Structure 1
Amino acid sequence: MLFPVKVQYYKGLTKALKVAAAVIPMPKPTLFSGADSSLELCDAISHLGIKKLLLVTDKVLVEIGLLKDIQARLEKHGIKVTIYDGILPDPTYDQIEKGLALLNKHQCEGILAVGGGSPIDASKAIAARATNNKSLEKMAGLFKLRKAPLPLFVVPTTAGTGSEVTIVSVVSNPETHQKTPIIDPKLVPAMAALDGKLMLGLPPFVTAATGMDALTHAIESYISTNATDETRSYALAATKLIMENLETAVHDGKNLEARQNMAMASYYAGLAFTKAGVGYVHAIAHNFGALYATPHGLANSIVLPHILDYSKSDIISELATLAEASGLKAGRESNNKLAEKLIARIRAMLVSFEIPATLDSLKTEDIPRIAELALDEAHANYPVPKYMDKRTCEALISKMVA
């Protein structure tokens, strides 16, 4: 059990974050949305007079030819494109430095990120390193960027991370296996394109895991003690879109309407958690990713129902509202019943998507350390609705052992 004094201290930290979020301007990218909006973004980049661009992505997207139309459109405008496809899931410091070296070698004036959360996060870090004479370690934390990053444009190819609108870049330290979050409003991209057409070939399991990532963002931001009317509005919109479209996107991947709606849901969820924050789900999932290289969406999917079970007593009203937005209300039902229906619905979705309830790589002997790191992360940064101590966290994580 946590001592009341500690809880009050943690609440004080998160209250300070809420004040900062209200006072500090949170920019939004100029948004292009719809099929082929990625090409509209290329046209807009050309209007800025940029002639040399670093295109940050991963090898898979290059190999399947997803970038050809984008590259051709940029080159049509006289923009020389240098492709950096060395980004892997959970990008590390060395990947950032290699991208920076390539950017400097070719004297690129801006960066276009095309891909999931990893290429976008990496691009944010590269853009920040290009203009700030600081190591990644010294940029870690809140508001450490003195200068605006290099102009950054993004095209997400998964509907999950919301990184196209967030103030965060997460990079992994390959030596300590810990995540390094760089948090600054200057990291928000200048422009973003939500092009559902680019997501049509996304495999079902990736679609499911990234979609559940977006749902986690929406739910954790809604139950956050730092939520506002604005963030709740975005979170409810995201939840509604996800519940109406994710299953279609998973089981009928060529459905452009479902893909486009999921892209917008991810964007809304990103707007919500940028101001309201996340919680224990992300804290535990981050440490699964750092220790076992677990994909973030998969980690969130496994952890989410356990945290909702634990927190339910303190957020019944919020869960009931989310359940209603999810289309689960049938007649006059109590808030408690609706909260139970929402958690059950999430578990049923995971079964439908063949997402496991446990993590194969999770080792019992690692649990104390994971719990310690997760609680340190959460209590210093996240406005959780119900606090837990280390013993409770360890018991909760133990339920996820295969």
Structure 2
Amino acid sequence: MTALHRKMIFRTRQALMGTFMAKPQPKAMIFLGPGSSTQLAQAIGRFGLRNTLVVTDKPLRELGVLDTTLAALASAGVSTTVYDGVVPDPTQKIVDEGIAQYRQSGCDAVLAFGGGSSIDAAKVIALAVANGCVAADCIGAKKCKLPAAPLFAIPTTAGTGSEGTFIAVISNNETHAKDGVIDPSLIPRAAALDPELMCGLPPHITAATGMDALTHAIESYVARWGNDDTDYYGLASCRLVFDNLAEACHNGENLEAREAMALASYYGGLAISHALVGYVHAISHNLGAKYGVPHGLGNAMVLPHVMELIQPQAQEKFADIARHCGMGSPGDSSATLAQTLVDRVWALNEEISIPRTTDVIQAGDIDGLVQAAISEGGNYASPRFISEQECRNILMAISA
């Protein structure tokens, strides 16, 4: 490890861990199971909130997926203003539009309804309105003095785990580079993991978001900043994904599989809040910023490549995951079990039709992507640093 790398790790850990991450953090109150979104709506009314900004995207609103929740809020005496301007990887501008809508409508709470993009946007809206500022002012670790406005979440995908984290990611308006907003009050007060809302997800989105959850679980478990809690949630998430993701992809109406994947996503979110992620995310984030590659898909394509690279340093941790998930045979060595896990990830990608390559990566962009990914990856606690050439090799391997 170079002196520069040590300094980067120290500064990041000091910024992210020193003020609040090292302390026990609250978790969202969770409503779980079919119909839990209605239970959450009733709870919002019981909290005495009367005008909620619902943050979502146009497709969900137009498909009517939101209607039952809006009706439940109305029955609970809660008026709603719907902001449906969220798009994948929302920019500061999109978040600022939601902030303006909250203020214009005199809202007193925020409900995120949708995937990770909607939840992240809602988090920053809730933080900004409480502090009288705009999205750009929230970027960084604990930049705002006051806690976020009352915040709730109903995820409709099972991947990001954003309903369980105090982290939000928004994109720069011009460069689309992703920036982090980190604040303990970004943990929603309550969230509903309702599998009925996830049954309509097409297989390719189910697959990509599910592999996002698995990436969170694996990267947090092998990270050097993990602890007993993050290990517990990471292992639980891994088992749930390996046991249920293929079924959720192939039989989307299976509520048991959908509920299990919702829990896997939530547990993965709890794990990364403290242990953070690793080079899979560092590479995937930059593919998303440069080309708009969906985050879960990027993670899915990159995950087994990074696992192959770090396997010698993560061998015991990989073996733990394999044992917990019932892989291998009695008496297998740690080295054998670690390779079994890597092979299982490759096989799962194949089983759920994750492509091995993408045709969006341009040869002339690779040097810039490598520099950006290596810079970001140095801020995490991966079992080891990867070199520029190793990162370049991964990008070449996933290029069509």
TM-score, normalized by length of structure 1?
A: 0.96
Cα offset for 1:131? 1.5
Matched, 1:225 2:246: no
Equivalent residues in 2 for 1:83-102 (5 A)?
83-102=82-101
Structure 2: distance between partners of 1:106 and 1:7: 47
Cα offset for 1:350? 1.1
- Secondary structure of 1:31's aligned partner: strand
Residue identity matched to 1:373: A
- Secondary structure of 2:164's aligned partner: coil
Structure 2: distance between partners of 1:260 and 1:39: 16
Deviations 1:137-163 (A, max 9, x none): 332111112111111110001111000
The residue number in structure 2 matching 1:165 is 164
Q: Which moved more, 1:127-136 or 1:238-247?
A: 127-136
Equivalent residues in 2 for 1:191-210 (5 A)?
191-210=190-209
Residue identity matched to 1:82: T
The residue number in structure 1 matching 2:267 is 268
Structure 1: distance between partners of 2:63 and 2:175: 34
The residue number in structure 1 matching 2:58 is 59
Percent sequence identity over aligned pairs: 43
Matched, 1:302 2:304: no
Residue identity matched to 1:120: I
Structure 1: distance between partners of 2:132 and 2:72: 33
The residue number in structure 1 matching 2:393 is 395
Cα offset for 1:80? 1.2
The residue number in structure 2 matching 1:104 is 103
Q: 1:190 to 1:80 in 2, by over 3 A?
A: same
The residue number in structure 2 matching 1:74 is 73
Q: Which moved more, 1:307-316 or 1:326-335?
A: 326-335
Cα offset for 1:24? 3.2
Aligned residues: 399
Structure 2: distance between partners of 1:351 and 1:261: 21
Q: 1:382 aligns with which of 367, 380, 383?
A: 380
Structure 2: distance between partners of 1:234 and 1:281: 19
Residue identity matched to 2:187: V
Deviations 1:46-80 (A, max 9, x none): 01111111111111111221111111111112211
Deviations 1:91-122 (A, max 9, x none): 11111111111111111111111100010000
Structure 1: distance between partners of 2:59 and 2:317: 40
Q: Which moved more, 1:120-129 or 1:391-400?
A: 391-400
Q: Which runs of 5+ in 1 are unaligned?
A: none
Cα offset for 1:344? 1.0
Equivalent residues in 2 for 1:2-401 (5 A)?
4-13=2-11, 16=14, 17=16, 23-379=22-378, 381-401=379-399
Q: 1:20 to 1:399 in 2, by over 3 A?
A: farther
2:124–2:138: 8 Å Cα contact kept in structure 1? Answer: no
- Secondary structure of 1:26's aligned partner: coil
Deviations 1:285-342 (A, max 9, x none): 1111111111110010011011111111111111111112222121211111111111
Structure 2: distance between partners of 1:15 and 1:146: 20
- Secondary structure of 1:41's aligned partner: helix
- Secondary structure of 1:83's aligned partner: strand
Structure 2: distance between partners of 1:50 and 1:111: 10
- Secondary structure of 1:164's aligned partner: helix
Residue identity matched to 1:101: A
Structure 1: distance between partners of 2:221 and 2:264: 14
Cα offset for 1:213? 0.3
Structure 1: distance between partners of 2:20 and 2:320: 24
Q: 1:111 to 1:22 in 2, by over 3 A?
A: closer
Q: 1:20 to 1:52 in 2, by over 3 A?
A: closer
Residue identity matched to 1:396: I
Q: Which runs of 5+ in 2 are unaligned?
A: none
Structure 2: distance between partners of 1:79 and 1:125: 22
Structure 2: distance between partners of 1:21 and 1:218: 22
- Secondary structure of 2:163's aligned partner: coil
Cα offset for 1:82? 1.1
TM-score, normalized by length of structure 2?
A: 0.96
Q: 1:135 to 1:75 in 2, by over 3 A?
A: closer
2:99–2:134: 8 Å Cα contact kept in structure 1? Answer: no
